[in-house]
Structure 1
């Protein structure tokens, strides 16, 4: 009789290596899933960051379009629109609807000492009491002539932007280049909260567009401009409650907008991601500090890696528990057997009974493990049912369903393993009744069970019906055929030949396939418990099937051997006791 695994009372090095390898695979799967999840989340942050940058660029281009519309209106009036004409233009522009975030749109004229008097006379005819302020020592005047809507920008009418460096330098740069420019950080006179803002300029000239800086200075009339408060600009750009990122903007080291304060509702003190983007904006460089906020964190938590790790560790714990339980059980059983053997060495019948008790003990140990396995499977199914509405929703995370399926798969493997151990332990415990077995019917049944085509299994035998233990023999042939089906690389090309030859004392069976074959160094190992030659893309196996074959054959007094070379298929040979005469011959070579 084959010695049972764990009979020494110790976990073998092979089993330790299997458990360690399984744990390595579990942690590798967890790490891979974690890295994949983190990569996807980082991509979402990058997309959110790029969206913010793109929105700012697109919005500034749209604001420039509004300024250029004003330039076109001024040039259509040869640079000399009246206050009423400008109001009509601004009203039709509908900046409050089309250009959210802008404070208004107006006109600044460039004046010298020679043109100042005529300018004041014209403005005061439109608006009595018009004055230019504040006084300064520059040799140029740049008063704000018009600004609409005027009700919220009245404090800016008459303001001479030449009095302050940031306002003046951006306006002069716009004049000299002919391009739109924004100013450095300023505080708008009409902003009661005195927060950071800037001015946006687009120049217009007398006649056609001048060709050089000197000509532009000579023919400049003024600029169409728009004042901005940064908080209004960003609010019009994208409301904070719709974003998963917070942003701060600096210009030349001066912070002009900040959402990173701890008083912000969605502030994350330890953001998952941060990035800095330098953005060239109409002659200025804005430094954007973009960080993920609490909304991003809440929407991008991931549970799949944790579920894989927990599920894997649970399975590893079950496997380890099984090994420990069997070691302890066999240690006790072996100790008991030794004691009985010493006392009853001469009583062979009692020794056989003791061995049967050992087999029963292994059966009971494996059978008892099925209860927690069923519990885990049932609990997982309940979780899937509870989450059914969520998993079928469009916004469901598909990785949760994959993780639950992975747990069920591992539980099924544990169930297959314990079932195999139970089947192995019961071989020989209860002898099967002797009865007829029809080989043709057996082959036809195997063809159906393994979903093969009739020509793929061929029976060659001079006999059809034999009297034997039909359950045991069927188990042996089923396992050998199943082994051929499982490990064949191309199922449609599979070919199996089953032969039965009668000798005086036994029946000689062989099961031959055209599969990949087995290397000589593995041919002894495959009949041992938990041994499998499974490759990475082959079906998962418990490693018990051929051990069951070997034990069933040996219990019935036979021997099993194999012939195989890699690439040339495998043939298993075994003897089976001939308990009664053959009952009916058939022609050799019949196909199932």
Structure 2
């Protein structure tokens, strides 16, 4: 239901004839404000979950990128280990020694995803003959292939494990652009380089791959930039089939992100296949990462998969919304009941007034019935509220096993706490309405109020230091309606405590002086004070000035105070003195009885 529709609904109730009954503007404002708060919390919860989910996706992406970089760095270390081995043998190495070195690497165990590790020699036309004689002493059928017109000659001399990579022995990597370009770049820069996309001759599946080079120089050379092309004797290299590299990186079923790798316009690896059961056709998140990788630019297209959606789908916002709407519904029901009760009471009052010609006593009885009905309605509303609280506790008990499990999501418990907070808020509102309905009720046979005893009781009830309340009075006691006077003092002192900002020790000054047949009482605190713009507003029903860090208020307390004072012919004001704080002043009768004063005011 839209807020605009709710507002229109209550506007219609407000415009109905008074004999039928209408809901007051403050009640409409209460419902609209409460519903707005519910929707705001719902939207905030959704935004928080979306933010946390985005952070989880970003973390998964970063982790995957780090894994790729770490794995390539590990393979680079293996290449440089081979370079060191060759240079330690004077810049060249035999087939037997290379095999012995390759065994120490334990490729399958320590370097998953690598196809092999080999040696490439850099030759020219003059050195090919001697090179072939040496190689054919190790392997009689060794030859260089394929023939090409490029001046560089870069045959693969050894590769281990040899059986799986036999098709690559003798392959001249200079015959093809991507292989040759990366080998020359590695030779000329002295750094490890990878080639552009290729298909390995030993890969029967003909899937995308690349070569990884690390240059080898004469052991006695300075390896300066200008002399590198001349000093280079070859390179240690490793061939990679991309899908094997990724499989050795992290199993796809253990990830909640799928990705593809592209080098320029060539796709090296792709997990975004509709035939994959874990693929999410409409991913929750997607991003692209440009990864600089040993002379190449890899574009990683990252998308969340079905596992990510399953792990990051939460019902908390829906629970918050449903719980909030339930409470709003209870409030609306209460207001409708009160509206109908008002209409019934008004019809009854009109009938009694017409019959008894506006007799004061009968009108008083009618008003008392109305107040009693408000009390009963507020009291009865506590039953469904307690039901909500009980149901919430049952849910919490049912979820005890879940809360104790490793997969516990703390947001569930937090949202149950929110529901209980809303229930407590509703309890406070109904209690306030009940207190307001009792305000002014005559309390017979009450002992007179002694100011010093009242101050002592307040300090005890609110657990205050003996210096927190300072009493200055020339009136020792008041016998007129001490019950409601005591409630007024409790409300004003309680507000001073509740809204004190803690910047200085709490000090409340209470003064009482006689003014004719009345007593003028003032309560001055040293808190943050009240902006003059709100001096009138704070006495209205359900109006509260919420300060950061202060406890939540129902906005009924000062309305009770104002009603009690005015019921006995008095007036209460609030001021903001120059010395700071808030100063509440009201007057209270010294003589007579509550009933007589109340009747005199009504008759006037």
Q: Which TM-score band (shorter chain)? A: 0.7 to 0.9
- CA separation in 2, counterparts of 1:55 and 1:262? 25
Cα deviation code 1:451-493 (max 9, x no counterpart) = 2111222344567566555533322322222233223333853
State the superposition RMSD in angstroms.
3.2
Q: How does 1:439-458 map to 2 (within 5 A)?
A: 439-458=451-470
1:49-128 residue pairs with structure 2 within 5 A?
Answer: 49-128=61-140
1:188 and 1:426, CA in 2 relative to 1: closer, same or farther beyond 3 A? Answer: same
Alpha-carbon distance in 1 for matches of 2:446, 2:61: 78
1:421 Cα deviation (Å)? 1.0
> Which residue in the other structure is 2:243 paired with?
231
Which residue does 2:600 correspond to in 1?
none
C-alpha contact 2:478 2:590 (8 A) present in aligned 1: no
* 8 A contact 1:341–1:351 mirrored in 2: yes
Q: CA deviation at 1:374?
A: 1.3
Aligned pairs, number = 574
TM-score, normalising length: structure 2: 0.85
Partner of 1:586: none
Contact 2:123–2:153 (8 Å) recurs in 1: yes
Deviation (angstroms), 1:346:
5.3
Structure 1 residues 572, 92: CA separation in 2 closer, same or farther (over 3 Å shift)? same
| Change over 3 Å in CA distance of 1:432–1:110 after alignment to 2 | same
Separation in 1, partners of 2:269, 2:171? 24
Aligned to 1:267: 279
Question: Residue 406 of structure 1 aligns with which residue?
Answer: 418
Which residue of 524, 527, 547 corresponds with 2:559?
547
Match of 1:242 in 2: 254
Give a deviation string over 1:433-467, Cα, whole Å, max 9, x none.
34354443332221011121112223445675665
**Distance in 1 of aligned mates of 2:209 and 2:182:** 14
1:575 to 577, 588, 595: 588
Structure 2: distance between partners of 1:361 and 1:333 = 9
Aligned pairs (5 A) from 1:185-334:
185-209=197-221, 215-334=227-346
Note the 1:491-530 alignment, pairs <5 A. 493-500=505-512, 509-518=521-530, 522-530=534-542
- How far apart in 2 are the matches of 1:214 and 1:575? 103
**TM-score, length-scaled by structure 1:** 0.86
1:474 aligns with 2:480: no
Alignment CA distance shift 1:504-1:250 (3 Å)? closer
CA distance in 1: counterparts of 2:456 and 2:533, whole angstroms: 34
**Is the Cα contact below 8 Å between 1:267 and 1:294 reproduced in 2?**
yes
Q: Structure 2: how far apart are the matches of 1:518 and 1:181?
A: 71
Higher relative contact order (CA 8 A, sep 6+): 1
Task: Give 5+ residue unaligned stretches, structure 2.
Answer: 1-13, 594-604
What CA distance in whole angstroms lies between the structure 1 residues aligned with 2:378 and 2:204?
81
Question: Secondary structure, in 3 states, of the residue corresponding to 1:270?
Answer: coil
1:511–1:573 CA contact under 8 A, matched in 2: no
CA contact (8 A) 2:122 2:152 kept: yes
Q: How much has 1:229 moved relative to structure 2?
A: 0.8
C-alpha separation in 1, matches of 2:419 and 2:511: 42
- Paired residue secondary structure (2:268): strand
**Per the alignment, in what secondary structure is the counterpart of residue 356 of structure 1?**
helix
1:420 to 1:491, Cα distance in 2 relative to 1, 3 A: farther
Q: Which moved more, 1:495-504 or 1:348-357?
A: 495-504
- Provide the rounded CA distance (Å) in 2 between the counterparts of 1:298 and 1:522: 50
